[in-house]
Structure 1
Amino acid sequence: MSESTRTGTRRQDGAPEASGAPSALPTVASFAQLGLPAEILRVLDEHGVTVPSPIQAAALPNALAGRDVLGRGRTGSGKTLAFGLGVLARTAGRRAQPKEPLALVLTPTRELAQQVGEALTPYAEALRLRLATVVGGVSIGRQAAVLRDGAEIVVATPGRLHDLVERKGCRLGRVRIVVLDEADQMCDMGFLPQVTEVLDQVRSDGQRMLFSATLDRDVDRLAQRYLRDPAVHSVDPPSAAVPAIEHHVLVVHGPDRYAVTTEIAARDGRVLLFLDTKHGVDQLTRHLRASGVAAAALHSGKSQPQRTRTLDQFRNGQVTSLVATNVAARGLHVDDLDLVVNVDPATDPKDYLHRAGRTARAGRSGTVVTLVLPAQRRETSRVMADADVAPTVTRVRSGEAELSRITGAKAPSGEPLDGGAAVSRPKNHNAPFRGLGSAKDGKGGSGGRPSRKSSEARKLAEARRAARVRRGG
């Protein structure tokens, strides 16, 4: 497909609009107006989904009509069903050949792919469609076997799909519907070459749907090159700040950050805590569990079965504090999650908004807290201003009533969950603190000087080694 056949004029908001293209179909007030198969309507009713969300009401009429769709909506706005019901209804009654799917959904992360697959599976089963989810971290041989048996719809991450195509375990020439979900993150994560490779292999006369929180830079170029006369739906402003979220910046004294974080994590109810590095996530998780907090770590260094098990435990309440890198910032949906904590402040407004979007989902309210050192306030203020967020700024210390009022923080039990000695509150050495596990020297910890006790222990060990050498030991 040449670029010229899919390029249109430009809208004022930056989204493509084809010259002379038919206008988008009108929105609907109910699923019954869409002419969906009776099996889909039955499953919607069983799941209590009675009224389409704004993005669903706007996008579904065009998706069902076979139009290319360009959708912008904030995280948690219902995009999965906005494209998923169209994909399912338009694929119903067809049968895929081995290794040759008919529809494809690309997502940036394993968690989002699995979540999309789980959300669409009941509807696919009702229509007797076979849906396969292919992601990294699990057996590629097993996934190739599933595709060999035949799957009408494949939900995939770009890297694993690329590997399967390279191994000739999947052929894309019969794919007639492609969805790019969270397209901006796929571009940010460096998947653009793999995405364009996929789009160049699928049927050139097929339907393409692109959903993204923002429509800038690489996403904009994808839309211009691959979408033909798209129906454009932007149900939220580009900043996508959610009104139902309270935003707080808590200014903490550096060495007190461990204690503040631990008390927040020990609250009643679930909490999602974000850090920048895998090492920082693991270090904080160990500290919390040693303090008696049911915490678990989630990052790209974990195997897919570990990540899946951790998310299941967080959803069912076995784990109350999920400590994660930005791998959990997109697509993760947990019912009744009312608190997100940025232990390491986000340095990009899109990252902040996607972290924040893990709470206040499906019309609920929530709170987002960012812990900052005094020296970080200016940079954090800039990021939040760019995200169109005006937070309440409060100075707090561990043990204070104001910390408890904002976050529900309380003292942890101090009883280790994995054996070993209980953790006492870290002492204040007035040393520079560079975040949990993200010290500039790369060794983790608080970034402070070694204690006198550890220095003396090293000197004693060195003296013992010297004595053994003199004795010939």
Structure 2
Amino acid sequence: MTHPDDSTTTHGTPAGPEATNPALPPAASFADLALPAAVLRTLSGLGVREPFPIQAATLPDALEGRDVLGRGRTGSGKTLAFGLPLLARTAGRRAEPKQPLALVLVPTRELAQQVSAALTPYAETLRLRTVTVVGGMSIGRQAAALRQGAEVVVATPGRLHDLVERNACRLGRVRITVLDEADQMCDLGFLPQVVEVLDQVAPDGQRMLFSATLDRDVDGLVRRYLHDPVVHAAEEPRGTVSTMEHHVLVVHGPDRYAVTTEIAARDGRVLMFLDTKHAVDRLTGHLRASGVHAAALHSGKSQPQRTRTLAQFRNGQVTVLVATNVAARGLHVDDLDLVVNVDPPTDPKDYVHRAGRTARAGASGRVVTLVPADLRRETSRMLADAGIEATVTKVRSGEAELSRITGARTPSGTPLDGGPAAPRPKNTHAPFRGLGTTRGTPRAAGGTSRKAGEARRLAEARQAARVRRGG
């Protein structure tokens, strides 16, 4: 098992008169920590030999029961940094029906499942029962698992709120609470549910909060709910890593679909981001008609569909994952060396989180953003705000320079689903026409009217709101 390699690790206390709790020295090895022998054996059996910087810094304090504020980019090893103390300090206790003892709150279903999978071997060796509580899955089965008793719950805010409202889960006995990716939970509008949870858990329990950024909402949570926390950070300046390359490819509008398709046909996996579900589905269909093993991931897919798609992407059955921002946080795929922003993000935080899917565990990776000439200045400002220095190159489909940067090549052209081969889209009217996004175009994608495009966007907004409510 490989581990992320963070270049700098700092630890201490937050600024302010209330910060009086000095951090303990970092641990040199797992064996130096007060971890149960069974956990040490499991770590060794899984090939986890030395703690990552964030783990070495955080574990001594967390195992002592202190409140912890952890800062670090995704892929820094945060799950075990909070997971091992949570499990070790819960071991030996037994939960009553509907009354868990420890809680991990995360923003997305995918991250909840990843956290659960990472903690399960250690929970099993300590004979702790865990349940994953997310939207898109049977709420009845989740309620039944809670009735049987579970010491540890990993949950998204919306679904946990629903279970609490149904009296299927009571939080008063939760002694250890973790907020992972707290900034994204706030960005997605979950702050009221997070506050509701923190108001219900044991007031004198341990709280650990992990966040890549500390904006106003997250800072408010820290000040209100963490008691004299120690602060640990493992990150490089401005949220970037030295093993990651950033490229802006300036693409002529009518050539954009061809450039995207050739990149998708490369040898190796690639994660492509677009703004809307409609655009994701449209591009995925085009890629499969071109002979590319692509699959779509967005909030309109059921949870079983999303889980199956991610499994196929990880095992290589799917080589191109086309996604909305639902995949930008928490998704971990080993050896993913290319991320492509087919639609350039406008928010620097979105760029950083999309980019964080590659160059993980100390590996190298590239982030490529496709930009029409009229959005080049806007994209440059966004990258500057994100602290990113990118190489800018003008490219056309079929050119050697495109292949050098991305590995692009001509697709087979043999449809995968038995349909006709994909025609070359006619992108003659607007730079974004054809990929489903309407930014900067007089008409909606696919030639529909502006009114129809607005109706589609309204429907997508309503669906997003339903997803947020359901976790």
| Equivalent in the alignment of 2:232 | 233
Question: Is 1:413–2:418 an aligned residue pair?
Answer: no
Displacement of 1:355 = 0.4
Structure 1 segments, 4+ long, off by >4 Å, are: 13-18, 446-449
Residue 442 of structure 1 deviates from its aligned partner by: 7.1
Give the 3-state SS of the residue equivalent to 2:396 in structure 1: coil
Code of the residue aligned with 2:120 in structure 1: it is T
Deviations 1:373-396 (A, max 9, x none): 001111111111111110000000
- CA distance 1:431–1:380, change in 2 (3 Å): closer
Which range moves more in the overlay, 395-404 or 416-425? 416-425
How many angstroms apart in 1 are the aligned matches of 2:99 and 2:434? 48
Aligned-partner Cα distance in 1 for 2:409–2:25: 51
CA distance in 2, matches of 1:307, 1:164: 22
- Report if aligned partners of 2:19, 2:229 keep a CA contact under 8 Å in 1: no
Match for residue 289 of structure 1? 288
Offset of residue 39 of structure 1: 1.2
Aligned to 1:52: 51
Q: Find out whether 1:194 has 2:215 as its counterpart.
A: no
What is the deviation of 1:424? 2.9
Question: Equivalent residue of 2:446, what SS?
Answer: coil
Given that 2:13 and 2:19 are in contact with CA atoms closer than 8 Å, whether structure 1 keeps it comes out as no
Shift of 1:419: 1.1
Please say if residues 297 and 323 of structure 2, whose CA atoms lie closer than 8 Å, have aligned partners that are also in contact.
yes
* Aligned match of 1:425: 424
Partner of 1:243: 242
Alignment of 1:31-42 (within 5 A): 31-42=30-41
Shift of the 111–371 alpha-carbon distance from structure 1 to 2, 3 Å rule, reads: same
Are the aligned partners of 1:293 and 1:412 in contact in 2 as well (CA < 8 Å)?
A: yes
**Residues 20 and 298 (structure 1), Cα distance of their counterparts in 2 relative to 1, 3 Å cut:** closer
Equivalent position of 1:334 in the other structure: 333
Q: Indicate how the Cα distance of structure 1 residues 446 and 433 shifts in structure 2: closer, same or farther if over 3 A, else same.
A: farther
Residue 394 of structure 1 aligns with an amino acid whose one-letter code is T
User: What is the rounded CA distance, in whole Å, between the counterparts of 1:412 and 1:77 in structure 2?
Assistant: 35
**What SS does structure 2 have at the residue aligned with 1:159?**
helix
- What percent of counterpart residues are identical? 76
Match in the other structure for 1:394:
393
Amino acid at match of 1:124: A
Query: Which residue identity is paired with 1:220?
Result: D
CA–CA distance in structure 1, aligned partners of residues 435 and 224 of structure 2: 43
Matched with 1:95 is: 94
- Could you say if the C-alpha distance between residues 16 and 279 of structure 1 is closer, same or farther in structure 2, counting changes exceeding 3 Å? farther
Residue 63 (structure 2) aligns with? 64
1:132 matched residue in structure 2: 131
Name the larger-Rg structure: 1
Task: Report the Cα offset of residue 343 of structure 1.
Answer: 0.3
How far apart, in 2, do the equivalents of 1:94 and 1:24 lie?
A: 27
- What does residue 306 of structure 1 align with? 305
Residues 171-182 of structure 1: pairs in structure 2 closer than 5 A: 171-182=170-181
| Comparing 14-23 and 75-84, the one that deviates more | 14-23
CA distance in 1, matches of 2:253, 2:29: 52
Letter in 2 for 1:444: A
The aligned length equals 438
1:133-172 paired onto structure 2 within 5 Å: 133-172=132-171
Gaps of 5+ in 2: 1-11, 451-471
- What letter matches 1:189 in structure 2? L
Question: Taking structure 1 as reference, are residues 168 and 372 closer, same or farther at Cα in structure 2, changes over 3 Å only?
Answer: same
Contact 2:13–2:21, Cα closer than 8 Å, also in 1: no
- Return the alpha-carbon distance in structure 2 between the equivalents of residues 14 and 299 of structure 1: 39
**1:415-468 CA distances to partner (integer Å, 9 max, x unpaired)?**
11111111132345354435710125674237899xxxxxxxxxxxxxxxxxxx
CA contact (8 A) 1:15 1:215 kept: no
Instruction: Report the Cα distance in structure 2 between the residues aligned to 1:322 and 1:442, rounded to whole angstroms.
Output: 27
Partner of 1:444: 445
1:84 lines up with 2:83 in the alignment: yes
CA deviations over 1:312-352 (Å, ceiling 9, x no partner)? 00001010000000000001000100000000001111110
Letter of the 1:341 partner, please give it.
V
Residue in structure 2 matched with residue 323 of structure 1 by the alignment:
322
Q: Which amino acid aligns with 1:340?
A: V
CA contact 1:247–1:389 (8 Å) conserved in 2: yes
**What TM-score does the superposition give when structure 2 sets the normalisation length?**
0.90
Amino acid across the alignment from 2:50? V
Decide whether the 8 Å contact of 1:278 with 1:299 is kept in 2.
yes
The amino acid of 2:374's aligned partner reads A
Q: Distance in 1 between matches of 2:350 and 2:195?
A: 24
Gaps of 5+ in 1: 1-12, 450-473
Q: CA deviation at 1:50?
A: 1.0
How far apart, in 2, do the equivalents of 1:338 and 1:179 lie? 30
The CA distance in 2 between the partners of 1:47 and 1:257, in whole Å, is: 44
Q: Is 1:109 paired with 2:108?
A: yes
SS at match of 1:239: helix
Higher alpha-carbon deviation: 315-324 or 417-426? 417-426
